Amino acid sequence: MKDLSTVTIKDFQACLGQIFVVSPEQGEALSLELIQIKPIGKFDPEVDARQPYSLLFRGPAETILPQHLYQIKNRTLGENVLFLVPIGPDESGQLYDATFN
């Protein structure tokens, strides 16, 4: 994966609907689907290096990962570490947020 300080919304758009495999320090690997990419805040290309954005992932309802840095792997972007925050369940599973400023 690219250096996360340079990854943009466009990089993740190619992964929308794809699975990211999360490997917790303890326990089995978990599959999360990238279900939404949303720009946040204000963006001035003359001042800011990139548009801030938020990624929304959905995982299985029966497993809730605590807020933490996780090793992740995706077929398009490869391997890296993401800070995931559980934000609650929806009708299909547990939701997680990763925000890039």
User: Residue 86 pLDDT > 90, yes or no?
Assistant: yes
**Is there a domain that residue 72 lies in?**
yes
- Residue 18 burial (CB count, 10 A): 14
User: Residue 91 pLDDT > 80, yes or no?
Assistant: yes
Give the pLDDT of residue 85: 98
Query: Most distant CA pair in the chain: distance in Å?
Result: 45
Number of structural domains, the chain? Answer: 1
User: Residue 12 pLDDT > 90, yes or no?
Assistant: yes
Q: Which domain holds residue 87?
A: 9-100
Give the pLDDT of residue 101: 83
| 3 state SS of 28 | coil
**Is there a domain that residue 17 lies in?**
yes
Q: What is the pTM of this model?
A: 0.91
Tell me the per-residue pLDDT of 31-76, one tens digit each, with 9 for 90 and over.
Answer: 999 999 999 987 777 776 678 899 999 999 999 999 999 999 999 9
